[in-house]
Amino acid sequence: MRLIACHECHTQYDVTHVADPKVRCRCGAEIENRELEAMEARIYRCASCSAQVDACASECDYCGSQVVRDERKLSLVCPECFSRNTDDARFCTACGVTFAPESVDAKGEEFPCPCCGCLMAARQLIGVAINECPRCNGLWVPDDNLDFLIARAMDARERSRDEPIAPPRPRKKGANPLEQRVQYRKCPVCDGMMARRNFRKTSGVIIDQCPEHGTWLDADELEALAGFVLSGGRPSADAFMKGLEAEERRHKVTMAAIDAQLGGRDRRENEGGGLVGLLFDLLS
C-alpha cells in the first residue's frame, strides 16, 4: 500500500494504483502524488494497538502482537513521519498516527450542512459513504446506514469479550436531553424538516432523521451513540425521566403557542398540512 496525506487536514489517501501527479483532497487542497522518502524504522509503538513498546521488544506487552523489525517486511511508509511500517499496520510504530486511508476514486454527492450551510464533502467511514461538514464536523449518514455503523460498534463489543485485556471504556455513554437546545433542521437532500428522535428511546441522544434520506448527527453525537451501545445501552433512570419530563414541558409550551396562533380554533380543523406547517414555523 502507498499512502499520501494532506498537510492541511491530514486526511490520508491510498494512491497505490493512482497515476495522477496530484490528488485533490476533500478539503480543497492539492497533494503531490509522489513516492515518500522513507526513514529508518524507529519502533516506539505497537502497530496493532499503538501502545508503547521497549526498544528491543519482540512483542507488545499490552496486546501480544508481534513487533516486526525486519526492514524487508516494512513496505508501508507513514505519510506523516515517513517511517517504515508493515503493510497491515493500524498505527505508525514511530509517531503513532492511525492509518485510515480513503480512496481517491470514491465519488459522492456533496450536500449543504443542515447546521451551518457549509458544503459537505463525501467521504468513507468504516466502509460507509457519508458526508462530513468541514466547519462544524457534523455527519450526514444517508439511508439506513446509521444502523450499520451501530452494528459495527456492537460487533466490536462482542469481539472485545474474547480479548485478554478489556478495551478502554467509552468517554460518553449517551447524552442528557436537558443540555441540548431544541432546534429543528432541514434534510440536506429534500429540504424537508427532519424529525427529532431520542435514539433507542433511552439514550438521551437526540438525532435528526429524514424518513426518506438519512440521519444527521452533530459533531459529538456519533461518539455518544457508540458509547451508549458499547456500555450496554442502560442510561440512569433519573436522567431518562428528566428527559421525558423536559420533552413533555416543551410539548405543552408548543401546543399553547399553536392555540394562541389559531385563535382558539379546533386543532383538528387544521390537520393535513396547516397545523404541521404552523408547528414548523413556530419551532424553526
Question: Both 92 and 184 in a single domain?
Answer: no
| Residues 246, 222 within the same domain | no
- Answer with the one of 59, 84, 104 that is the final residue of a domain: 104
Instruction: Count the domains in the chain.
Output: 3
Considering the domain architecture, whether residues 149 and 247 belong to the same structural domain is answered as: no
Contacts of 157 (CB under 8 A, 6+ apart): 229, 230
Give bridge partners of residue 52 from the DSSP assignment: 45
Phi and psi angles of residue 239, each rounded to the nearest 5 degrees, phi first: -65, -40
5 lies in which domain range? 1-104
Which amino acid, 119? Answer: L
pTM assigned to the model? 0.45
pLDDT band at 142 (very low <50, low <70, confident <90, very high): confident
According to DSSP, residue 59 is labeled B
Boundary of a domain, candidates 87, 104, 121? 104
Kindly state the DSSP code that residue 88 receives in the 8-state scheme.
T
Q: Tell me if residue 221 falls in helix, strand or coil.
A: helix
Last residue of a domain, one of 60, 81, 104: 104
Could you report the per-residue pLDDT of 248-271, keeping only the tens digit for each? 565 566 666 656 665 544 444 444
What gap in Å lies between CA 61 and CA 71, rounded to an integer?
22
Give the torsion sign (CA, 238, 240, 242, 244).
negative
The amino acid that residue 39 corresponds to is M
- Banded pLDDT at 156 (limits 50, 70, 90): low
The tens digit of pLDDT for each residue in 36-63 reads 888 877 788 999 888 888 888 889 988 8
Phi first, then psi: what are they for 160, rounded to 5°? -65, -20
Question: Do 121 and 97 belong together in one domain?
Answer: no
